[in-house]
Homo-oligomer: A and B are copies of this chain.
């Protein structure tokens, strides 16, 4: 493998979303290219994420342990943090400390948006989604398990 390469030549994830339905379908138009894994990084993940017009980066969510950070490369995605919204532009950054405000991006424009996303891999992470009937817990194999808010698992 070369010691460096253009981020947009990395392969896209074969499975577009880990969410169960009906949430997975809402991630249409989102393409994630994992970058850190290609270099053997273990402690954090880096994705190059493209959002087509109308696409969102994720459900509105907040992690219990994982910190997250984004850098806008292209386009003008709208960042939603708690009840606040801001339209971003290339060169802008935002960070999301664990356990604070839920957040996600939406592409409300007619052009693609491209964002670099970073998130660490702290053990025992969980994700809550204040606006949806879903919760996520990372199991011992670092795979996400999704449940309804009453605890019953999605199938």
Contact = CB atoms under 8 A, between A and B. Distances in A.
Given A4-B86, A4-B94, A39-B95, 7 more contacts: A2-B86, A35-B69, A36-B69, A43-B65, A44-B67, A71-B116, A118-B118
A120 B69 CA distance: 12
Interface stretch (A5-13, A22-30, A50-58, A141-149): A5-13
B39 A91 contact: no
A36 B86 CA distance: 19
**A: interface residue count bin:** 35 or more
Q: Which of A2, A38, A48, A120 has the most CB of B within 10 A?
A: A120
A98 to B, nearest CB: 8
A91 B40 contact: no
A84 interface: yes
A92 interface: yes
Interface in A70-85: 71, 73, 79, 81, 84
A88 interface: yes
Nearest to A66: B43
Contact of A39 (B5, B10, B79, B94): B94
A109 to B, nearest CB: 16
B43 A95 contact: no
